[in-house]
Amino acid sequence: MSIFLEALSRHIWELKYRYHQADKIIDHTIEDTWQRVAKAVARAEKPAERLHWQKQFYALLAGFRFLPGGRILAGAGTKHKVTLFNCFVMNIAEDSLAGIFKALQEGAITLQAGGGVGYDFSVLRPRGELVRKTGIASSGPVSFMKIWNTTCGVLLSTGTRRGAMMAVMRCDHPDIEEFITAKADPLELRHFNVSVLVSDAFMQAVKTDAEWNLVFPVIEGEKTTNDVVVQTWNGKANVPCRVYRRVKARELWGRIIKNAYDYAEPGVLFEDTINRMNTLHYCEWIGATNPCGEIPLPAYGACNLGSINLTQFVLDPFTEQARLDWDGIEKCSAVATRFLDNVIDVSLYPLKEQKKQALATRRIGLGLTGLADAFVMLGVRYGSDESLRLASKIMRCISTVTWQTSAELAGEKGSFPLYQQEAYLSGEYVKTLAPEIRASIGKYGMRNSHHNTIAPTGTISLLANNVSSGIEPIFGEAYERYVILPDGEREKFLVTDYVLQLWRKRGGSEKLPPAWVDSRDLLPVDHLNMQSALQPFIDNAISKTINLPGDFPFGGLSDVYTKAYHLGLKGCTIYRPNLITGSVLQCCL
């Protein structure tokens, strides 16, 4: 009997993860894929222990209990020259033509190897600013983003497996208004996600309805005017910045929200929250994220992701005895932590700078998926107080095991090179950890600088028979899903949510399970509350999209991003079907 319950699930395996060498099929079954990956990742262990860990990793993967990032499934154990890391944050080292095109080249190499890329475009001077060497006015950051977009499109047209791109801009950059509306044109920047980097100072200005300076650092050799302020810029204190214009902070905030409502972008990233809670606060500053926002990263940082599929840890589903297999979750979390740590050592890296950064910090991002489906199996309604408490308990469990395992791995294999015990233990996030974890850190050190994240898990959740993705609610009972094929065409599939398939298979007498809740039943605040319930146990970030129906009133959205900030979230994104972006998912019932 096939493990695939959906035609789309098998299609995704064959299209993205099944190993071929030219016309020769290597992975005859999904079990072959799991065995290939397990064997490859176990190579990071001592020779005498490799077979033991290969068996452990295979058991971890079997039955979709653990879903490693798609690049791991596609590349581990193959002869393809690809990276096992899903995404990278790149670096525009300097505001010059040479710096820009070096960054473009590095991005193209990374995309070609299968990694997504994120950039902070704030480092580029605003439109109209004269370039001192030539006397020619700069065309501004958004114009250069179009070159990246074209490059990504060319790579896609050649059949190259490529990742998405993220563009970030500071909320005080002079071109911020152009950036906010950059994707209003349906023909522009289709390969980019865009997010605004929002500071505490800006949110305070929004609160008080104050004026807001749009600034850029004084360029070397530039004659300064009286309109210069000294402020923090991209993590550097006391930077002289020229004030280009002043706007009302509340009006700018309103434009961000209106464009998000109309075109589903930009998202927002909360700069000071990200950096204040960064476990490596003492040696790096973060100004960008990977394309889906779940991993804030420094220049050349990489995300190494995996998710525990909660649907496989529910005992006696749909009954009064339904419960979670907590022991199973703990064991899975421990082995998955080791698995992801090993990936760092067996992966290829498109650039030497990326390898250097990955080995220096050994970041991993272990999270979960299938949360909403698991709730239904347990008889818990998504968005209820009970669901928030249970979500917190689950993520606390995973986080505790991940941190404890990382400390023990440090005792076995050594701490990450940038580890400084006193500075690390003094971090705002690390100070929230349980005393026993902090004691283990003090005893052993720390193998990985960062440990937990929640990724969108879109494709790998579809692979696992369409379980609900990440911490998102169930989208609907049955819906149409469009998949982009290698030739750029879209193919339509009708899919049913995993938990509904299971309910029917077990003879559910009602149309829907009693605890069924889908995205149409929820308000934005329900999404935010769920994200907030898990954020305390996530040292990276959470990819969360607030999906809204097309007829959702704008007035109901106006305070969503503000509430996200006050809840201590690191970012927020909404999605409402619209004429520009359309809809990837369409309900059929």
In this structure, what are the phi and psi dihedrals at residue 577, rounded to the nearest 5 degrees? -55, 140
Contact criterion met (CB below 8 Å) for 461 and 447: no
Region of residue 21 (left: phi > 0; alpha: psi -120 to 50; beta: else): beta
Instruction: Using the structure block, give the residue that is written with the tokens 């290969």.
Output: 54
Residue 150: helix, strand or coil by DSSP? helix
Q: Which of 294, 342, 448, 547 is catalytic?
A: 294
Cα–Cα distance list, 183 to 192, 196, 259, 265, 507 (Å): 9, 13, 9, 7, 47
Of 274, 143, 83, 129, nearest to 196 by C-alpha is 274
Q: Where are the beta strands (DSSP E) in 398-554?
A: 478-484, 490-496, 545-547
CA 360 to chain centre: 21
Q: Which residues pair with 270 in a beta bridge?
A: 198
Of 19, 14, 150, 151, nearest to 82 by C-alpha is 19
Contact criterion met (CB below 8 Å) for 574 and 546: yes
Q: Which of 290, 309, 465, 540 is catalytic?
A: 290
Q: Which of 87, 292, 397, 572 is catalytic?
A: 292
Based on DSSP, count helices (H) and strands (E) in the chain, helices before strands. Answer: 20, 23
Clarify whether 292 is annotated catalytic: yes
Clarify whether 588 is annotated catalytic: no
Cα–Cα distance list, 559 to 215, 250, 258, 575 (Å): 26, 12, 11, 15
Point out the residues that are catalytic.
290, 292, 294
